[in-house]
Structure formats: structure tokens, C-alpha cells
């Protein structure tokens, strides 16, 4: 068997494969997917581990309402709104007053353009190391800065606006949409922050309805908005305009109702002064009768990853079984194909082609299908590597 004969075998195999490209593609797809699936699952798990542990590890403590520690962690880290309870501002102040930690409020209950709207303070951006790619930071009520991916997806830039969405379709009397002014776009951070809109926590309360702005009925001489003026009190009619957007003209009309200490927060990120302060704080929040919970996110994410690894093992077992079945089918397909082409191989034998050359033709055909399957595996793995982090974050939101 010389090199030219081997090249001839390859040529013949290639011609056969090229002639039956649809069949080859199907077979390569089946094999490629079977091989790629376990790699993709493994790759996703590694990305998940890296992603979850990095963000959780960078967040020392999270305070929130008693309940699911994992849900609290996911709200504070990934702004997941599902199943989250609230605590009050005064509980954050109690934590701050301990002198053991800095605190960053998180109020993530609402959304705009399917993205979470996160009420927080400017400290959050410093804590996460978030930089502006364009525009400027939040300076007043109704302003927001948005993550790079959110901006990219919706073509948003500083000067643009986005409206918050009602929490329920039929929530007519409840939270009404507030138009937010985009003042800045954050640089890409490859984290959940890329997909969120950040507002000052007061703006989040405005969305909640705790604060609002409307026509000034005290100074207003428009009679249609006033029902009655008596003893310095004014009873307004329903003609009073409620503002759904904060502007330079109406900002002074916005005001808060109720006890500021009772305003809600979904989580508080605590940044203890040192390890000792962290240990003291964890000890203080061990009382089962407390209405709050102080958790270490890294522990919660480790527990989540442990569950995911168990699921991964089961998934890989299923995929391995499926893969074995597909591989056996592929062997059968090749065997049947070669059997059906017996006449063709007989022809080659009759014109004098050596048996080794004929075996080589068959091997090259298998190899070429394998190479095509390999390319499919590479393409899928590349896609998983590229989209994996976003996919992993999406699963948590």
C-alpha cells in the first residue's frame, strides 16, 4: 500500500461521502450531538461553578427576610425576584449601627424590558467594581444606569428611557409603570450586572408606590383639581395628574409617605470590616426567633452546586446510555451501508483493487463522518463556551 493508493482510497471515500451528503450530515449530527452533549454539560457545570463561586465568594454576607437562604442569595446576587420576602430599612440600619460592617441595600422586585430593576446605592458599583462605559452615574430620582448587555439588546444609550413593567397583567390599581431616564451604560462585567437596570433605592420605592408625584393642589388655582379647601386642607379630585416620569419640572412634587424605617428591601449586602467582625455578625443572627437571616452566599452556592453535580452525574449517565445506543446504531448504519454496497466493492475487487485498499476506503468513510461529527462537537462546545455564562446566569434569574 503506497501513499498514492492511500490517497486514492481517501478520494473515493470523499466522493462517496460528498455524493451522500444529506445522509452523512444526519449521521454526523447524531454522532456529534451524542459526543457534544456530555462535553457541553461538563463545560456548563464548570462555567456554573466558576460563575457562581466567583460572585458568591466576592459577597461576604447577605441579610434578608427569614425564609429560603438560597432565594435570598439569588436575589442579592442575581436579582431573582421569585419567592423573595422583604425586610425593613430599619433592620439594615441596625446592622449598620453595629459598626462591624458596611451595608449596601438591594431592592430587586421590579423589572423593565424583562430585565431586573435593582434599587441600590452608589456603593454597590464600587463594591462590584462596575465602571461606566458611557454617560454618567445616577444623580436624581428616576435615573438609571444599565448593564451593557441590556443596553446592547435594546439599543439603549444615555438619554434614552425605559419603562418599568407592572408586576401583574391585571394590576391596574397597584404598581404603575415609571419611565426611567438612562443616564449611563456600564462597561461589560460578564456578570448578572450586565443584564440589569440599576436605580437609586429611592427610585425603587417610587416604582413600589411609596413615593409619588402629582399636581400641586395647594398652590394650583385650577378648580377642576380641587374638590374642597377647608381649614388649610385641600381635598383633590381625581383630575389631579399623577406623574409617571421624573422631570426637572416635576421633581419637587415627588414625596414619600410613611415611616422611612419601614421601607422595604429585598436584601442587604454586608461587607464586614474583617473576619472577626464577620464571625461576630454571623453569631448575632443565629437566633431562630429573629425575623431576619444573615447568610454567607458562598455556602448557599456550594450547596446549590452540590445539587447540580448530583443532577449532572445522572444526566451524564443518561447521555452515556443514549450515546452507546447512538454509537451502536452508527455501527449498524455503516455495516448495513457496506453490505448494501457489496456489489460496488466486488467491482473494485474485480478490477484488481487490493483488499487493504478497499478496507481503507471504508475506514476513510468512517473517519470522514467522524471528522464531520468532530467539527459539530467543536462548534457546539464553542457555542457553549460563548453563551454558557449568560445561560448559567439566566437559569438563576
Question: How wide is the angle at C-alpha 314 spanned by C-alphas 308 and 319, nearest 5°?
Answer: 115
Beta carbon of residue 338, minimum distance to other proteins (angstroms, whole number): 14
Rounded to whole angstroms, how far apart are CA atoms 165 and 159?
20
Which residue number, 141 or 353, has a Cβ lying nearer to other proteins? Answer: 353
Cα separation, 74 vs 108, in Å, equals: 11
Closer to other proteins by Cβ: residue 327 or 357: 357
Name the residue nearer to other proteins (CB basis): 138 or 360: 360
Report how far apart, in Å, the C-alpha atoms of 257 and of each of 205, 262, 350, 373 are.
10, 11, 97, 64
End-to-end CA distance of the chain: 61
β-partners of residue 104 are: 269
CB of 336 to other proteins, least distance (A): 17
Bridge partners for 63 per DSSP:
268, 294
Q: How far is the CB of 364 from other proteins (least distance, A)?
A: 12
- Return the number of the residue (310 or 347) whose C-beta is nearest other proteins: 347
Site residues (vs other proteins, CB under 8 A): 2-5, 8-9, 11-12, 15-16, 19-20, 344, 347-355, 357
User: Closest distance between other proteins and the C-beta of residue 112, in Å?
Assistant: 58
Q: By C-beta, is 17 or 70 nearer to other proteins?
A: 17
With beta carbons less than 8 A apart as the criterion, state whether 106 and 119 touch.
Answer: yes
Give me Rg for the CA atoms of the chain: 31
Cβ closest to other proteins, residue 5 vs residue 86: 5
Secondary structure class of 253 (helix, strand, coil): helix
- To the nearest whole angstrom, how small is the minimum distance from the Cβ of residue 1 to other proteins? 8
From the CB of 18, what's the least distance to other proteins, in Å? 8
Residue 351: partners with Cβ closer than 8 Å, 6 or more residues away: none
Amino acid at each position: 500500500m503506497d501513499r498514492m493508493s492511500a490517497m486514492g482510497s481517501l478520494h473515493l471515500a470523499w466522493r462517496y461521502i460528498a455524493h451522500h451528503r444529506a445522509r452523512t450530515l444526519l449521521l454526523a449530527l447524531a454522532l456529534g450531538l451524542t459526543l457534544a452533549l456530555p462535553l457541553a454539560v461538563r463545560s456548563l457545570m464548570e462555567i456554573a461553578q466558576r460563575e457562581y463561586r466567583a460572585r458568591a465568594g466576592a459577597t461576604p454576607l447577605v441579610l434578608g427576610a427569614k425564609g429560603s437562604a438560597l432565594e435570598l442569595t439569588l436575589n442579592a446576587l442575581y436579582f431573582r425576584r421569585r419567592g423573595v420576602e422583604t425586610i425593613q430599612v430599619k433592620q439594615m440600619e441596625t446592622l449598620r449601627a453595629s459598626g462591624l460592617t458596611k451595608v449596601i441595600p438591594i431592592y430587586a422586585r421590579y423589572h423593565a424590558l424583562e430585565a431586573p430593576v435593582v434599587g441600590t446605592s452608589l456603593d454597590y458599583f464600587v463594591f462590584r467594581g462596575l465602571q461606566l462605559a458611557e454617560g454618567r452615574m445616577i444623580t436624581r430620582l428616576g435615573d438609571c444606569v444599565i448593564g451593557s448587555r441590556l443596553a446592547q439588546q435594546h439599543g439603549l444609550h444615555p438619554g434614552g428611557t425605559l419603562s418599568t413593567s407592572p408586576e401583574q397583567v391585571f394590576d391596574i390599581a397597584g404598581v404603575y409603570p415609571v419611565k426611567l431616564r438612562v443616564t449611563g451604560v456600564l462597561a461589560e462585567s460578564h456578570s448578572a450586572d450586565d443584564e440589569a437596570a440599576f436605580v437609586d433605592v429611592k427610585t425603587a420605592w417610587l416604582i413600589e408606590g411609596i413615593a409619588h408625584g402629582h399636581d400641586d393642589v395647594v398652590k394650583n388655582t385650577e378648580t377642576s383639581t380641587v374638590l374642597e379647601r377647608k381649614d388649610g386642607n385641600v381635598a383633590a379630585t381625581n383630575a389631579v395628574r399623577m406623574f409617571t416620569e421624573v422631570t426637572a419640572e416635576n421633581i419637587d412634587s415627588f414625596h414619600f409617605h410613611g415611616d422611612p424605617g419601614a421601607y422595604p428591601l429585598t436584601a442587604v449586602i454586608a461587607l464586614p470590616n474583617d473576619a472577626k467582625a464577620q464571625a461576630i455578625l454571623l453569631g448575632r443572627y443565629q437566633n431562630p426567633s429573629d425575623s431576619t437571616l444573615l447568610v454567607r452566599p458562598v455556602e448557599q452556592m456550594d450547596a446549590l452546586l452540590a445539587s447540580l453535580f448530583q443532577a449532572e452525574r445522572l444526566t451524564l449517565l443518561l447521555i452515556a446510555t443514549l450515546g452507546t445506543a447512538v454509537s451502536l446504531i452508527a455501527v449498524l448504519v455503516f455495516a448495513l451501508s457496506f453490505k448494501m454496497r457489496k456489489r460496488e466493492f466486488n467491482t473494485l475487487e474485480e478490477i484488481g483493487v487490493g483488499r487493504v485498499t478497499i478496507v481503507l476506503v471504508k475506514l476513510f468513510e468512517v473517519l470522514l463522518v467522524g471528522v464531520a461529527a468532530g467539527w459539530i462537537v467543536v462548534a457546539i462546545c464553542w457555542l457553549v463556551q460563548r453563551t454558557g455564562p449568560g445561560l448559567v446566569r439566566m437559569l438563576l434569574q
